[in-house]
Amino acid sequence: MTTVSHLECSKTGERYEAGKVHNLSSQGFPLLVRYDLDKARRTWSRESVASGPGSMWRYAPVLPVAKPESVVSLGEGFTPLIPVPRIGARHGAPHLFVKDDGINPTGSFKARGLSCAISMARELGLTKVAIPSAGNAASALAAYAAAAGMESHIYMPRDVPQANYIECKAFGAHVTLVDGLISDCAKIVAARAPQEGWFDVSTLKEPYRIEGKKTMGYEIAEQFEWQLPEAILYPTGGGVGIIGMWKAFHELEALGWVTGKRPKMIAVQVEGCMPVVRAYQQGAERSEFFENASTVASGLRVPKPLGDFLILEAVRKSGGTAMAVTDEEALAAGIELAEREGIFAAPEGAACVAAIPKLLQAGALDSRERIVIYNTGAGLKYLEAYSTRFPRSAGGETDKLGGLITPR
């Protein structure tokens, strides 16, 4: 099923044996899964992909799961690539698309990474998993752990969207709300996991979530008939999507499935939490902890991504950039996308819509380019955030009869 060969440290290149339980490298850096791509090229063709399942598991030869029975799937991935001509026309980008991951199980792109991580946990014999999360990763972990019959432990900031909290409880997870940020939640999980026998599936602290996320890059290539677009805008919290897609493009090139220049990778953040943007502007290799992080886009409230050096490397090597918008700009753009195109995006994805005119004006994008906005979640999971745009009147609305219709 898989062509995995080994794992390696993303910083030093130190090799690790596949098929074993791993978290970070010995130097404290994320591990990356490597494949025998020569073997994959001989035994797998891009023409055969279309006959695979209508999920991210159509790319199984370059995913790490060795046994088909280990796969825990709820139908994640292979989400639509939707042209948005009205938004594009308004902002002078006629070749604009939205890759809508809001229709994934549990309503976000996190389903990809957690499907892969929980599948590998099952294959490796793990039964208890834990995660710190700003919201959507927790929902996805809870769902896939439930599907796998595993015990899940979740630590989330107390002010996460209500949808995330209720989802996790409904899936039977053990949920702890923390007065603080995701970074505070991560410290608790790191301290308790060894004592409790939990496997820590924090962002980039295990090797397999990135493998599920990289399928976003494979899908974009397939949906553009193996011709990559010129630019991809990605809402960047932990930034695993950028890291994963950059890895996917490398693998696709090695397979001989794509040629030419890779897309410009553009990291979009919000002004209330912009560690990657600040590091990019300063020419730094790593970001610094962003104090007092605050934003309605909970998935972007990550004060210091563990894989910041990998995000910045992909942005710079691709000729991309990093930009921040305000919360208000993101919410306004989300409403515009809904009104003009019928797509109700999470504030994270909406932030990318808000960035389009700024990037065009700055010359970072060209109107002739094919531009993909990655929407990472469903707007319905952020009703508290969007409710500020639509306050209800004190008395509400009445029906035409002027009163209530009561049942007999």
User: What CATH number is given to the structural domain containing 349?
Assistant: 3.40.50.1100
pLDDT of residue 393: 62
| Residue 395 in tokens | 């008395």
Query: Is residue 157 helix, strand or coil?
Result: strand
pLDDT of residue 297: 94
pLDDT of residue 377: 97
pLDDT of residue 27: 93
Residue 101 Rama label (left phi>0; alpha psi -120 to 50; beta): alpha
Distance between first and last Cα of the chain: 61
pLDDT of residue 134: 83
Please give the Cα distance from 202 to 240 (Å, whole number): 11
Helix axes 240-255, 308-317, angle to 10 degrees: 50
pLDDT of residue 397: 56
Please give the Cα distance from 23 to 29 (Å, whole number): 9
Q: What is the 3 state secondary structure string of 60-107?
A: HHHCCCCCHHHCCCCCCCCCCEEECHHHHHHHCCCCEEEEEHHHCHHH
288: in domain: yes
pLDDT of residue 135: 87
338: in domain: yes
Considering its fold, how many domains does the chain have in total? 1
328: in domain: yes
pLDDT of residue 10: 95
Q: What angle do CA 211, 216, 219 make, to 5 degrees?
A: 120
Contact 128, 199 (CB under 8 A): yes
53: in domain: no
190: in domain: no
399: in domain: no
Burial (Cβ within 10 Å: 0-12, 13-18, ≥19) of residue 256: exposed
308: in domain: yes
pLDDT of residue 220: 98
Polymer length in residues for the chain: 408
| Residue 100 in tokens | 């809508």
Where the chain has pLDDT below 50, the residues are 405-406, 408
131: in domain: no
Question: Domain of 343?
Answer: 81-107+211-388
| Residue 293 in tokens | 């992080």
Q: What is the 3 state secondary structure string of 219-261?
A: HHHHHCCCCCCCEEEEECCCCHHHHHHHHHHHHHHHHCCCCCC
pLDDT of residue 277: 98
